[in-house]
Structure 1
Amino acid sequence: MAKAVNSRSVEPEPGKGPVDKAMEVLEALVEPGGPHRLGEIARRTGLTKPTVHRLLRTMADHGFAEPAEGGSYRSGPRLLGLAAAALNDGRALELARPVLADLRRRTGHVALYAVRHASEAVYLEQSEPAREYRMSARPGHRTPLYACGVGLAMLSVLSGHEADAVLHSAPLEARTPHTLTDPDALRELLVDAALNGYAVEDEYDEPDVRSVAAPVLNGDGRVVGAIGISGLTFTMAPDSVEVFGPMVRAAARTVSAGLGARTPILGVVDTTSRGERE
């Protein structure tokens, strides 16, 4: 009997359907640092190279991927067009853009807008001052909610059950030596954020980067995103948070008001949610 050649490469990946595989390849394709080689995408997704190659060829045929030098691939024009259309199709983002520009002008720091996807914050827009350094949180960048200012701001207005589902979904990874990974410590931080109307993140996601953020709510009082500013620690000193915090909070409430949200009373926390967390 003839021996199968490279039989491992044709074995189906258990538990993953065709759509699941395609979505994983798309996510790997748009990661920073592209274009990406086929082998790199295979490692990131856990799929075999023949599977990744077949999916990339299909995506390229439809304009979602584009071959690049050295056998690598980049995002295709159709994918970029869909992404641009999606980013422009949102009232919250439309309201946030001029607010971010004003916040960046008044603070001198990068101003960001992010939304929640499951347990991650996804950055959609930023207004960045002209400087020699740039933040890593670019549009499309994802960060765990517990490790970034915008994520903590969104967590601070979730119910106790919702917040606990995020904090206990899996062991929390320390992204820097300063990252808070203890759910109890994070709960206390969220209580403070709810009282102040803004959250402070101090080198939790990146070394030497501090951020301040506040939640954006819709007319039903549900969080739809967060606005924040981010800067290097030597340009955003701890005592400046008392100045920047209210500015960020006011910016987020401007967007919230445009979405029909009522302005909350400062210093009032949902005691039921707090009790659930404790």
Structure 2
Amino acid sequence: MVKAVNTRSVDQELVKGPVDKAMEVLEALVQPGSPHRLGEIASRTGLTKPTVHRHLRTMAEHGFAEATEGGSYRPGPRLLGLAAAALHDSRVLELARPALADLRRHTGHVAFCAARDAGDAVCLEQSEPAREYRIGTRPGHRAPLYACGVGLAMLSALPADERDGVLDTLDLEARTPYTPTDPTLLRTLLAEAAERGYAVDDEYDELDVRSVAAPVTDAAGRVVGAIGIAGVTFTLDQDSVEVFGPMVRAAARTVSAGLGARAPMLGLVQPETREEHS
């Protein structure tokens, strides 16, 4: 009997078109820990090894992937060039870069900018000080919206209907023992973040790491991202959060103002919260 390459049947794979499969392979290729073995990419995507190999070979021919020793692959120079060009022309990042540098200088912590991709927050850029302690936040790092400061910040600034729709799609799995997987607790955290203008990640995504983040909005009031700082818990302690939180909030509002957003009122409470206390 021939052993199956992976748990997904060929019939199931055929449901997806070639472009869909190529996008899945590309997404797996750029995950942290590069270079990635063929079997690892196949496992991550659920595609068969021959399918993955075919797409990687085509990507390598066009410079989007690069083969390394041992049958592994990493992002190619053309892909890196396209990513750099796209990020360079981003208006949000253009405005965020000086804000990140300012936060880094005044707090001594990693400062970073993230955007939302469906149910995840994706780190786009960071301004990191030279220090002994390193954390997982870096460009390309992904974390569920409910399990990181930038994700909570973006969720807290969404209109109620949109936020509820996103929350209904999230699979609240624990990333650490402290991840808020209870829907009631999560909604409480979002209400608190909306009222004070910034969210706090208290070891939700990575043990011994705390972050503070605030949402960035555009002229239409749409949430286009978030900026924040992160550090190990014994340097970014609760007292520091109370000092740095307003600084992060002010930086995010400066970026938002550059995009044409109106300055929000401090202490604005969500409509449903007002009704509860009326």
Interval containing the TM-score (normalised by the shorter chain)? over 0.9
- Superposed, 1:211-222 pairs within 5 Å as 211-222=211-222
Give the letter aligned to residue 193 of structure 2. A
Offset at residue 119 of structure 1 (A): 1.0
Q: Would you say 1:71 and 2:71 are equivalent positions?
A: yes
Offset at residue 8 of structure 1 (A): 6.4
CA contact (8 A) 1:168 1:183 kept: no
- What SS does structure 1 have at the residue aligned with 2:169? coil
Q: Aligned partners of 2:4, 2:232: CA distance in 1, in Å?
A: 51
> Residue 15 of structure 1 aligns with which residue?
15
CA contact (8 A) 1:121 1:150 kept: yes
> Residue 84 of structure 1 aligns with which residue?
84
> Residue 97 of structure 2 aligns with which residue?
97
Identical-residue share of aligned pairs (%) = 74
Mean Cα displacement is larger for which, 13-22 or 91-100? 13-22
- Superposed, 1:79-228 pairs within 5 Å as 79-228=79-228
Q: Aligned partners of 1:197, 1:56: CA distance in 2, in Å?
A: 44
Offset at residue 71 of structure 1 (A): 1.1
In the superposition, relative to structure 1, how do residues 170 and 212 fare at CA in structure 2: closer, same or farther (>3 Å)?
closer
Give the letter aligned to residue 110 of structure 1. V
- What SS does structure 1 have at the residue aligned with 2:251? helix
Q: Would you say 1:255 and 2:250 are equivalent positions?
A: no
How many residue pairs were aligned?
273
Offset at residue 142 of structure 1 (A): 0.8
> Residue 270 of structure 1 aligns with which residue?
270
Offset at residue 251 of structure 1 (A): 0.5
Q: Aligned partners of 1:150, 1:264: CA distance in 2, in Å?
A: 18
| 1:119-170 deviation line (CA, Å, top 9, x unaligned) | 1101001000101222211101111000000010000111222222222214
| 1:259-278 deviation line (CA, Å, top 9, x unaligned) | 111111101123058769xx
Give the letter aligned to residue 193 of structure 1. A
- Superposed, 1:30-41 pairs within 5 Å as 30-41=30-41
Give the letter aligned to residue 60 of structure 1. A
| Structure 1 alignment gaps of length 5 or more | none
- What SS does structure 2 have at the residue aligned with 1:69? coil
CA contact (8 A) 2:191 2:270 kept: no
Give the letter aligned to residue 17 of structure 2. G
| 1:12-36 deviation line (CA, Å, top 9, x unaligned) | 5143211111111111111111111
Q: Aligned partners of 1:125, 1:36: CA distance in 2, in Å?
A: 23
Q: Aligned partners of 2:199, 2:179: CA distance in 1, in Å?
A: 14
CA contact (8 A) 1:156 1:193 kept: yes
RMSD after superposition = 1.9
CA contact (8 A) 1:159 1:273 kept: no
Q: Aligned partners of 1:75, 1:176: CA distance in 2, in Å?
A: 30
CA contact (8 A) 2:119 2:170 kept: no
Give the letter aligned to residue 36 of structure 1. H
| Structure 2 alignment gaps of length 5 or more | none
Q: Aligned partners of 1:58, 1:267: CA distance in 2, in Å?
A: 53
> Residue 47 of structure 2 aligns with which residue?
47
Q: TM-score, length-normalised on structure 1?
A: 0.93
CA contact (8 A) 2:5 2:49 kept: no
CA contact (8 A) 1:160 1:273 kept: no
Offset at residue 189 of structure 1 (A): 0.9
CA contact (8 A) 2:59 2:65 kept: yes
Q: Aligned partners of 1:171, 1:119: CA distance in 2, in Å?
A: 9
